[in-house]
């Protein structure tokens, strides 16, 4: 498992660099699954937009929905960059891997994950890229 935070995926050049590192790890004989954050500054922009629309305390559920879009953008771009390097990759949102949490919006804890979709991509020689 590799995890890349916002500064590691700050812009398209950084995402290309992460893709290179991921593919090099795979080519070295390791299986790889990647978890990424939103691009640098993206979460701050989304939080600001939430506060502009919903005040200082926007609805917690809608806040979570909005803020999660930052990771969605990054997983798609990174999967594309990995594919461009000739390696299969597939992006996954939490719901696509059966990720279930408790109902504590903005501070949810993971209750369960279905690892099968991730395993399927890895077994096929690809890289799952997870939000």
- Residue 58 corresponds to which tokens in the numbers above? 């926007």
pLDDT digits over 54-92, tens only?
998 999 999 999 999 999 999 999 999 999 999 999 999
Q: For residue 17, what is the domain's CATH number? A: 3.40.1160.10
Domain count along the chain: 1
State the average pLDDT over residues 30-45.
95
Residue 106 above 90 pLDDT? no
Tokens of 26: 């795979």
| Burial zone of 97 (CB within 10 Å; 0-12 exposed, 13-18 middle, 19+ buried) | middle
- Domain with 103 in it: 2-130
CA distances from 1 to 22, 48, 52, 55, 118 (A): 10, 31, 36, 37, 11
């Amino acid at each position: 498992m590799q995890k890349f935070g916002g500064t590691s995926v700050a812009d398209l050049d950084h995402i290309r660099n992460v893709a290179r590192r991921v593919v090099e790890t795979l080519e070295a004989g390791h299986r790889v699954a990647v978890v990424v954050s939103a691009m640098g500054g993206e979460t701050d922009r989304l939080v600001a937009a939430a506060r502009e629309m919903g005040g200082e305390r926007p609805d917690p559920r809608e806040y979570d929905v909005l803020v999660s879009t930052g990771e969605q953008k990054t997983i798609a771009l990174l999967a594309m960059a990995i594919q461009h390097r000739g390696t299969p990759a597939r992006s996954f949102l939490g719901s696509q891997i059966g990720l279930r949490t408790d109902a504590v919006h903005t501070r949810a804890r993971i209750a369960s994950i279905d690892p099968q979709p991730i395993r399927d991509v890895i077994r096929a020689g690809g890289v799952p890229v997870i939000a």
